[in-house]
Amino acid sequence: MATNPPFVPGATRGISLGESPRMRRSRRSELAIWWREIDRLLLLLVLVLMAIGTLAVAASSPASARRLSTSAVKLDDLHFFTLHLRFQLVGLAAMFGASLLSKDMARRLGIVLGFAMLVGLILVPVIGHEVNGAKRWLNLGMSLQPSEFLKPAFAIVLAWILSWRARDPKLPVVEIASGLMLVVAALLMAQPDFGSAVLFGGVWFVLILLSGISVKKIFAAGVGGFGMLIAAYLFYDNARHRIDAFLGGGGEFDQVALAERTLLAGGWTGSGLWLGTRKLSLPEAHTDYIFSVIGEEFGLIVCAIIVMLYLALVARVLLRLMEEEDLFTTLAATGLTAQLGGQAFINLLVNLQLFPSKGMTLPLISYGGSSTIALCLGVGFLLAITRRNPFIEREGFTRRGSPARGSGPVRTSKGQAK
């Protein structure tokens, strides 16, 4: 009598021993759910900006490589472009990985990351290394800038703190959030990094406005923030020097004036890829002043498209939040958007000679290591927090499971109205 051969799992279907068919189906199911719930338009806008950034870094890399080359070390013209591609790949992995998280997991990871980076900020003045006169980096086998990773985490932590008010209106959430803001600002200004302190302050103020506090507290927060700016000018040398240089004008060789002239040099259509010449005189052409390089080589029309893409990104998130009822989701998504949009706004104003010079990259476009990865991680958090089930929305339910406003009566499987 013939006997059947011994059964080996996966042998007849080419399935690996470490993964069962059920595991494969489960993973495909999770990806399908992710694709249905994710904000695909927001993801598209982000990917378009990153694609533009890839081309822009390719255009600006020769200028920075030649400027930073020495007799001992000569950098290839595409040195920064090659590195940027690697950082983008890591950033995309971080973005998609974070976007797969549930809202609760994204909140927990953001809180843990926030407190870890706060510890990193405390360590920077002690063991950090200095670049271009600023001590902002930790050497942990690779160069890490804690303030960049704190940006998305800060928005989530603030949203978490301010959302406590929904459970107990008597909790001093504004005072706790303001205390955290003061600690972060003090640590940033010790680096010195006045521009990032302003950006963090802007995110804090936006979330305070949306948290449902009284007008009196909003006014007090605004006055306090303005008072801090005045105090920074009076007692903080880094801020005073930048503001004085901006108001007094830096003459022919001022960086901001040079950036504006470079931006306008290409006219409406630009001089063409690698054909710009003014960019060769720009400091940090691949980071702080990449928008000016785009203007010279690709023209003002492309610059206008970039501005519209940022506006569309912000508008898309705000429209998606209009029907949101969960306070943490509203605050966290708004904070993450304000951080990204605010950073873009500051960088654009610097390149247009409308804001003092500031070492701040153009989000998703400029070259960067920590900056690129942290921004992609922040976008991943944003995509995770704003995920929605289209079936629930189509059936007329809100995210809490109650009938949506204006959806009409909900019918049972027998067709009876409830």
Asked whether residue 228 is domain-assigned, the answer is yes
- 308-347 residue pLDDT tens: 999 999 999 999 898 888 889 999 999 999 999 999 999 8
Which DSSP string corresponds to 126-155?
Answer: HH-EEETTEEEEEESSSEE-HHHHHHHHHH
The token duo for 195 is 């521009």
Asked whether residue 311 is domain-assigned, the answer is yes
Average pLDDT over residues 358-386: 91
Asked if 417 and 411 count as a contact pair (C-beta separation under 8 A), the reply is yes
pTM of the model: 0.81
Quote the CA–CA distance of 305 and 51 in Å, as a whole number.
Answer: 13
Tell me which residue range forms the domain holding 210.
38-68+75-387
The token duo for 141 is 């086998």
Asked whether residue 410 is domain-assigned, the answer is no
Asked if 171 and 163 count as a contact pair (C-beta separation under 8 A), the reply is no
Average pLDDT over residues 281-298: 88
User: In which band, very low, low, confident or very high, does the pLDDT at 416 lie, cut at 50, 70 and 90?
Assistant: very low
Among positive and negative, which fits the CA dihedral 252, 256, 259, 265?
negative
Quote the CA–CA distance of 249 and 117 in Å, as a whole number.
Answer: 36
Asked whether residue 403 is domain-assigned, the answer is no
Q: What is the mean pLDDT of the chain?
A: 81
pLDDT of residue 127: 80
Q: What's the domain count of the chain?
A: 1
Asked whether residue 20 is domain-assigned, the answer is no
Asked whether residue 10 is domain-assigned, the answer is no
Asked whether residue 1 is domain-assigned, the answer is no
Give CA separation, 213 vs 183, 206, 208, 217, in Å: 22, 12, 7, 7
Asked whether residue 406 is domain-assigned, the answer is no
User: φ, ψ for residue 12 (rounded to 5)?
Assistant: -85, -20
Strand order in the sheet with 134-139: 129-131, 134-139, 143-144
Q: Decide: residue 28, CB within 10 A, 0-12 exposed, 13-18 middle, 19+ buried.
A: exposed
CB environment 269-279: b (16+ within 10 A), e (fewer):
ebbeeeebebb
Tokens 């429209």: give the residue: 319
User: In which band, very low, low, confident or very high, does the pLDDT at 266 lie, cut at 50, 70 and 90?
Assistant: confident
Q: DSSP 3-state assignment of 269?
A: coil
